[in-house]
């Protein structure tokens, strides 16, 4: 090799850096494409799940109203409302306790 055929080290490093940047861009584009495919795959599941949760919440509200009305006929409107609130607060507290206990077990 002649000294004239060799490229300056700065040019070689510059090309190496540009090649590295191109590689990183290609990897990022690959990850984005894979993520887009996964999002498209699970979008209908997420929509149906959200709709199911919405109807489950509506059923819970209907249950609460039914409980209030039933208790209101037995112990009056204020008593029925307070009793139903206490029942649902106790259920929420129990679920929160179970979730915390499950989280603590998973950390151990």
Question: What's the pTM?
Answer: 0.57
Q: Determine the structural domain holding residue 23 and report its residue range.
A: 9-107
In a domain, 98, yes or no: yes
* 51-83 per-position pLDDT tens digit: 999 999 999 999 999 999 999 999 999 999 999
In a domain, 4, yes or no: no
Q: How many domains does the chain have?
A: 1
Question: How far is it, in rounded angstroms, from Cα 106 to Cα 98?
Answer: 12
Task: Find out whether 68 and 84 touch, Cβ atoms under 8 Å.
Answer: yes
In a domain, 3, yes or no: no
CA angle 45, 49, 55 (to 5 degrees): 150
In a domain, 29, yes or no: yes
* 3-59 per-position pLDDT tens digit: 556 778 888 888 999 999 999 999 999 999 999 998 888 888 889 999 999 999 999
């Amino acid at each position: 090799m002649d000294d004239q055929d060799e490229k300056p080290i700065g040019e070689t490093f510059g090309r190496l850096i540009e090649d590295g940047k191109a590689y990183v861009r290609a990897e990022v584009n690959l990850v984005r494409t894979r993520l887009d495919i996964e999002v498209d795959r699970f979008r209908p599941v997420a929509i149906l799940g959200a709709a199911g949760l919405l109807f489950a919440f509506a059923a819970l509200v209907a249950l609460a109203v039914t409980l209030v009305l039933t208790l209101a006929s037995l112990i009056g409107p204020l008593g029925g409302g307070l009793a139903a609130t206490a029942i649902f607060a106790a259920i929420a507290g129990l679920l929160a306790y179970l979730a915390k206990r499950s989280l603590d077990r998973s950390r151990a």
